[in-house]
Amino acid sequence: MIERNKRKIRIAFWAAATLLFLLLGISRPLLQLSESMTWTLFWVLCALTLIAWYLINQLWYLEFRKTVGALLPILTEEKDPDRYIAENEKLLVGKKAEQIKGILRMNICAAYCEKGDYSKAKEQLLALRPQKLYGIQRVAYLADLAYVYFYLDQKAEALDVMAQNKKGLSDFAQSPHLGGLIAVLQIFELLARGNVDEAKEALEKARERWPDSRCESDFLALEQKLHARESGNA
């Protein structure tokens, strides 16, 4: 509801806030308010306005996350990446905040990866401005970008992204949300650097630590690359 009526709520809120400040100005001579009292009321109104606006935005964000979360089964259970892309693209229309666009474009990226279309996945990520992303979202963005580069066999670019994100990858290596992906990246990195034995050992450990089905297709792809290296075909 908040999402659908966000523009109306914004207009109504600022119209009401403006009216309150006008009433304060008009009522000052009528109520014989002193200058100090007027300024006190002014700053109280400012504080209340900012708090109210913050709460409205938090409610909108919670509703937005709920809406986005409700789409996930389309990808994970129904196995319909095209519909998942379409639904996220609908939500993307009109969004200006980079963090919100980041959530949606990274979702779309995940769906393209599911389809095996890593070029379009990369396009989604490169459409974002990573300097406007913070915390775990920035780490996830750079991890996704390195992941896509590895699958496109753009090893130099992938290694460069991982170097930029070294601390973030280390900090979230045991995260239930990013740990599996980071383990996959670390094995890709070992392979890219020619450390086949270390990559093989890391893959065995990763399979034990991250038995999540989301990682299994990546583990299989890495296993195939390892077999190819050992056979001297790659």
Spatial separation of the C-alpha atoms in residues 74 and 90, rounded to whole Å = 15
Task: From residue 232, give the alpha-carbon distance in Å to each of 25, 79, 162, 227.
Answer: 82, 35, 26, 9
Classify residue 95: in a domain, yes or no.
no
Which regions of the chain are under pLDDT 70? 1-35, 37-46, 48, 52-54, 56-58, 232-234
Q: Is residue 113 part of a domain?
A: no
The DSSP symbol for 78 reads S
Domain-embedded: residue 88? no
Residue 28 in any domain: the answer is no
How confident is the model at residue 231, as a pLDDT?
Answer: 78
Other Cβ atoms closer than 10 A to 94: 7
Q: Which pTM value belongs to this model?
A: 0.78
Determine, yes or no, domain membership for 200.
yes
* Residue 135: how many other CB atoms lie within 10 Å: 10
Backbone angles phi, psi at 121, to 5 degrees: -60, -45
For residue 107, the number of C-alpha atoms closer than 13 Å in the C-beta half-sphere is 29
Q: Are 148 and 122 in contact (CB under 8 A)?
A: yes
Look at residues 171, 167, 168, 209 and name the one whose alpha carbon lies nearest to residue 187. 209
| Total count of domains within the chain | 1
- Provide the pLDDT for residue 35: 66
Instruction: Report d(CA 186, CA 143) in Å as an integer.
Output: 10
pLDDT of residue 51: 72
Domain region containing 234: 164-234
pLDDT at 10: 60
Does any domain span residue 1? no
Query: Which among 54, 91, 98 has a CA at the least distance from the CA of 70?
Result: 91
Reduce the DSSP state of residue 130 to 3 states and report it: helix
Angle between helices 81-92 and 98-115 (to 10 degrees): 160
115, part of any domain: no
Cα 94 → chain centroid: 17
Q: Is residue 55 one of the residues assigned to a domain?
A: no
- Cβ–Cβ under 8 Å, residues 178 and 208: no
210: tokens are: 């991250």
